[in-house]
Amino acid sequence: MMQGVVQIPDELKSLEDIIASGFGAVEQIFAKQLVSDLEPVDQMCEHVERYRGKMLRPMLVLLCGAAANPKLGKLLSNGKTDHVLSKSHIVCGAVCEMVHMATLVHDDVLDEAEIRRRGKTINAMKGNETSVILGDYLIASSYELCSSLGSPIPSRIVGKASAVMCTGELLQLHNRNNFDLDEPTYFEILKRKTAALIGAACELGALGTLGFDQQSHPTVQALLGFGTNLGIAFQIQDDVLDLTGTEDSVGKSVGKDLEKGKLTYPLIHHLVNTPSKSRSIELITAISHSDQSGLPELIELVNQTESIAATQKMALSFVQGAKSNLALIPDNPGRPMLELIADAVIARSH
């Protein structure tokens, strides 16, 4: 789980087993939904399945599904592990991952990225046109799968989260090369483009346990809040890795944010706190025009304002916010497991 990032203590092993077997079921449904009677479509879907990495969103659906169950402790101690998760958790997990993968495929078009999860991107292999349509195919398939659940409510949650994600991307594009981007707008972008789907994954997990008509249930609201905070922390960490990571450690092209004129928290913090703002803007502008030669000097300046440390502190505060949301859910082994995930989200180097 989390590719070995999380150390699971013994008392949570049986819950870990449930999640691991849920993962297997998610993968099966995922692959089955994307099967096409057309050979070229199948080939591309197979390639794109390699994008699946941390499986953060399905994991959160499954784990929140378990954590929302007031009887989880009893079920685990009675060995009734197959009563914890249902078909709807598995379907929602696959749906969230499919929506996420669609955004990865389209993001790679936007970023003109060549490398994703150590493999060539679809756009680098087959061109932007195929990538656009393949992303559309993933989105449409996720909705088709979601509507198999018998209630329109999960479709509404997923449709809405997807629409909000798009507005976040549009807000980010609108602020490209805006080197006066302020903190509130940055967080608005993060909340929309990343936290909306991660929040929806947690909400769907809880609803799968408590019933799809329970959207106002305190546990559902608490887990939605948990996912939203966690999603913001996750994206802040992504933004740090894009600046400080290497392609080798992160597994995808790095330094893309600045190259595309996207200002992220470390730079926003830096520009507010540096005595040499005009030099920093000069370097950022050059990098956004594909001249990477100034990157080492910029990183040196960013270190002088201690902006990476400040960013990590900010990410940590969202993780703490996420954990405090958990005070309102049932006191069972799901809670410490979600806390471990929350810590792992900002400890990761990829």
Stretch that binds a second copy, among 1-9, 21-29, 137-145, 221-229 (CB under 8 A): 137-145
Q: Of 88, 116, 101, which is closest to residue 25 (Cα–Cα)? A: 88
How many angstroms separate the CA atoms of 129 and 123, rounded? 8
| 13 lies in the site for a second copy, by CB under 8 A | no
Closer to a second copy by Cβ: residue 144 or 180: 144
Eight-state DSSP code of residue 181: -
Q: Which of 67, 72, 146, 302 binds a second copy (CB under 8 A)?
A: 146
Phi (first) and psi of residue 28, to 5 degrees: -65, -50
How many angstroms separate the CA atoms of 24 and 69, rounded? 21
Phi (first) and psi of residue 187, to 5 degrees: -70, -30
Quote the least distance from Cβ 172 to a second copy, whole Å: 9
Q: Of 198, 212, 84, which is closest to residue 146 (Cα–Cα)? A: 212
Binding-site string for a second copy from residue 109 to residue 128, where x marks contact by CB under 8 A and - marks none: xx-----------------x
**Please, which residues have CB within 8 angstroms of residue 185's CB and are 6 or more apart in sequence?**
171, 175
Q: Which of 104, 139, 243, 250 binds a second copy (CB under 8 A)?
A: 139
Stretch that binds a second copy, among 2-10, 24-32, 78-86, 161-169 (CB under 8 A): 161-169
Please check whether residue 345 is in contact with residue 234, taking contact to mean a CB–CB distance below 8 angstroms: yes
Closer to a second copy by Cβ: residue 17 or 129: 129
Q: Return the structure tokens found at 232.
A: 């913001």
Please check whether residue 185 is in contact with residue 176, taking contact to mean a CB–CB distance below 8 angstroms: no
Stretch that binds a second copy, among 114-122, 159-167, 237-245, 341-349 (CB under 8 A): 159-167
267-269-270-272 Cα dihedral, nearest 10 degrees:
120
Quote the least distance from Cβ 345 to a second copy, whole Å: 25
Q: Which of 69, 88, 141, 235 binds a second copy (CB under 8 A)?
A: 141
| 299 lies in the site for a second copy, by CB under 8 A | no
| 206 lies in the site for a second copy, by CB under 8 A | no
Q: Return the structure tokens found at 127.
A: 């061109």
Binders of a second copy among 19-48, rule CB under 8 A? 36, 38, 40-41, 44
Chain positions contacting a second copy, by CB under 8 A: 36, 38, 40-41, 44, 102, 106, 109-110, 128-130, 132-137, 139-153, 155-156, 158-160, 162-163, 165-167, 169-171, 173-174
